[in-house]
Structure 1
Amino acid sequence: MSTFQINYDEKEINNSKLSPFSVNGLLKEKSSPEILQSSPGLDKSYLLGTNSFVNSVTLAYNEHHHLIIKPDDIWIAIISQFSIYVNLNAEKLRDKFVSFQGKKELEVTCSGSLRDAPYDVLTILMSTEIAKTIKDASVKDWVIPNFSTTTPTDKIVGSIALMSSLQKYFDYKFRLFCGIPRVTLLGTLDDWKSIKTRAERLSEFDSGDGLMTKWLVMLIPVLTQFIESVGGNVNVGWWNKICHYIGGGSGPTWLSGWITVFTVFDDQSKWLGDTKSKQTFKTIETTEWLFIDTQDIPAGYLSVPVVVDDNGTKYKTKLYAGHMSTNIQQTSIQPRLDWFLKIE
């Protein structure tokens, strides 16, 4: 760090004359857009036009204020201008950056949803994907700052600058998926082995339609993975395939993933176990598991009528039992097994 005197009439800044930062102020939009995420402290800063580097310098000069700048400011100012030039001359410079015509889509994935996804991480991942695809991977590290003053935010800004500079060659996609951070499988290893042994008897009860055998073929790999996980051989990739949703535009939403092996019959006893492809509004989706219309997910509980004879007075009742409620505790969620008896 180096501080030096230029003049001697340093004045205090009157913050009341400055405008707090706002995105609609920066972009000159009348309505306030929804901001999904931003860098830390942005909401506590001030808006000085559309170029805070140049306008900070001119304000410090005109109003006699102490100016603080760092290497990252200078480098990003250079790269911002470089980006404009590259986009203006994208076809002339194509051969310097990529070996293909047109645009390629680059996609990075991460767990999360629209409003809580780690977009900072996704941006850094995208810069890595760019480096894998362009002719000279060193361009990534050339663009992204790496000085003694560089903060994580500076690296994200540099990554976005890289993306912007090469946007004539690439389309960028952040694909978000949900995920389970932690799983607890209660019981012993013998318990989980016993489930598999019990399930193998299903084929004994096949009525001739072959459905019990088909179902067992789907169940065994899933039950085997439970055993492996309890035994310490956890396949994280498999657990991340437990479920996902595919939207059909204005049509239905489909559930897929290995959880669907527990939904092969709907509430009307219809077999759903052969649905491994679906036409969405964009393309034909396929899966190694099943596609289940979310409206067809069967109830997790069963019911059976019972007559209760109370000392000669008979009542029609119905017993309900199964998965019908859930325990929630801090960060944990656990399905419950319950029952109740109801007078009809």
Structure 2
Amino acid sequence: MGHSRLLLLFSALHCSISAVTVIPLTLNIPKPYESDAAPVTSDSDLLSKLHTGSNLSTEPMFSTYTWEHNNKIPLNGTYASQDSFVRGAIDASAKHQHLVIQPQDVWLTVLKQLSFYLRKHKDDKEVAENWDNREGKATPSHSGLFLRDLARYTRDQFNLRSKADWMLEWARPGFTTISQHPYYMIQNSTEELMANALLMSSPYPSTEDMPAFPCKNGFPSITLNGTQSDWKAILEKISSLEKFGKEPKLYGRLLHAVVSRFVQTFDNPNDPATRLFWNNMITITARQNLCSSTELITGWINAFHMWTPAGNLAITAAVTTASEAVQLDGITFPWRHAKDTPIANSHVPMCVDGDSPISASSPILVGMLAKSVKQGKPEGYEAAMKLAGFTLPSTVAESDHSILQPLPIWIAHYNATGNCCTPDMERTGRC
């Protein structure tokens, strides 16, 4: 009995660890972060960088950049980055940055991908039984726009579309890494608002260059924030993807093979198999170790991009030689060129019904829209290096270490047209 209690206590303590740091099997020397792009200086600047080449407005109303990041900009800065979990990981590996990942980064990336599929396959039986992709036109009940209005709006619109009583809780990223904001007078976190909005979003074309990067790339370390239970929760959520059809079921298989190893990392981060797994996040092929630069992404990070913004399969053929491809749980993972990684702005249309005869069109831009870079080492780096038996060369300075972390962000902004017509306006003859 005592032994069993000890095991239960150990298990409880183990699951409550708030972060784990792992060193890849290959020693990667940290380098100072360099970027051709300048860090963003405001939410307007962020919008302008994300909306390059589009006719969408860059006049923000409210954003999580302003409220949550403006006073916490790290030493190196915050950079615009579409789909920053995937593209941020590629950037961190290319530039030898420590990478920090949160559970919500992964889950919001999955929901954005699923939104592409739901829009194209809205008439499929499995989708139609659970989700209605009609455009919602509900309007906040009073003038002005606050976070509580956005939270209510996205929740109500989600409930209008959802035909399954499990979906609202399923989409909710209720991880320990998410802060609640009672002073905003809502129950939701901003990430919950984003999760609801993403499944209802419409993709808008976007561009973001991904230049070739050094073949000998890699992370000095990877830190998974949150508890092991947080990552197990994502595994449970992934199992429900099959309810939407065959392609989402395949997506779930790819994700399960990857995220299950996120979970296992907490058990023994220094295990060679675990460290090899993190080695293979971006590239793996032997020939890539012989070149000077590449744009070929052959690692398991490709598992997170299943569909293009149009809802078509984004999976390409496996690397020609099976031994050069990432294989997990009997699955050979796809490869793609960096320029072919799916990218789109995700917007949720919304009308703000004010006192004037004309209401404002205020779409919400939502997703993994930025990455932060700050100097320093992750908290568990030194201990993980000691376990791995690695020692950095004496030429590596403290200032050579930088941490890259993806950032979920939403921005409510004015539409370029400036006007919209709501059902209330139609009924009262104001359109």
Report if TM-score (shorter chain) is over 0.5: no
More strand by share: 1
The TM-score with structure 2 as length reference comes to 0.36
TM-score norm. by structure 1 comes to: 0.44
Structure possessing the higher relative contact order (Cα contacts under 8 Å, 6 or more residues apart): 2
Bigger radius of gyration, 1 or 2? 1
